[in-house]
Structure 1
Amino acid sequence: MIAETICSAVSAAGLGIAAITAYRKRFLAAARIAAYSLVPVALAMTGIVKWAANTAFSPMAWAGFGVLAVAWLLFMTTRAVERRRGGTRKERRAAAKAARQGAAVEPAASAPSLGPGARPAAQPKAKQPAAKPADDFSDIEAILKKHGI
């Protein structure tokens, strides 16, 4: 009963504001305010306000909201884990099947190109002969020639 009275009062106040707005020759805004002010009365007349009031004070309803929150957290956690693993189980199985069939690229082809100086530590390094002093400046000269200097 009190909820319906409050809804009626809010609607009456909104319609009063709409009337003042229409008096100021802002008819479009007045019509929008009137539409918004009729919503609380409509909700009270349909019984949604009574249902919402009963739900707000029901411990069983709050327990249901808690269970919904736990379910939502589980969904979000599983999505985050799927993103870290690289997709769903079905997508990972399809990728593994394609790799077994030889559709995957060669392992060395996907390695980043880091240049001749950067090699994995697992490979033994070949000894390089000591560079001549004249060779030290050949790289610099090549760079300067490249830039036209």
Structure 2
Amino acid sequence: MLSAAISFVLTAGGVAFAGLRAYRRRFLSATRWFAVALLPAGLYLTGLFPLASTIGREFADWATKLVLDPRVWTGIALLGVSVVLLVTTRWVGRRGGAAVEGAPERPAAAGPAPGRPAVAPTPRASGKPVSGKPAAGKPDDGLGDFADIEEILRKRGI
């Protein structure tokens, strides 16, 4: 009986406040307040108040155990490790990790694969060979790593 009186008083107060908001031409706010004001009466009439009180008690018990029980902290740590592992594997999978799942790893071969000729490193378009040493006849100016960038800038006229 007391829960019925409280729920209907809360609903009446909410509807009155929604009416005040509508009187001040704040219709969006009035509609929101009216919707919230209907909740206590709806919860009472559907019989969900006992369920809400049970959920509230269980949540309070869980929160008490959270603070005092080391088993709960162990469970939280396991959940955290699980989330970190899932996020990490997703991130590595998107970056194209070292080995694709289900694909066999390649063995380290001493020579070229059968049926393929051995290919020597070829010089790049900048005239600098792949080995990192300057081309024959060109002095090393210390900017060998920037040769590719210079080439791109020169092509764009910058």
**TM-score, scaled relative to structure 1:** 0.46
Q: RCO (CA 8 Å, sep 6+): is it higher in 1 or 2? A: 1
- Considering fraction of residues, name the structure with more helix: 1
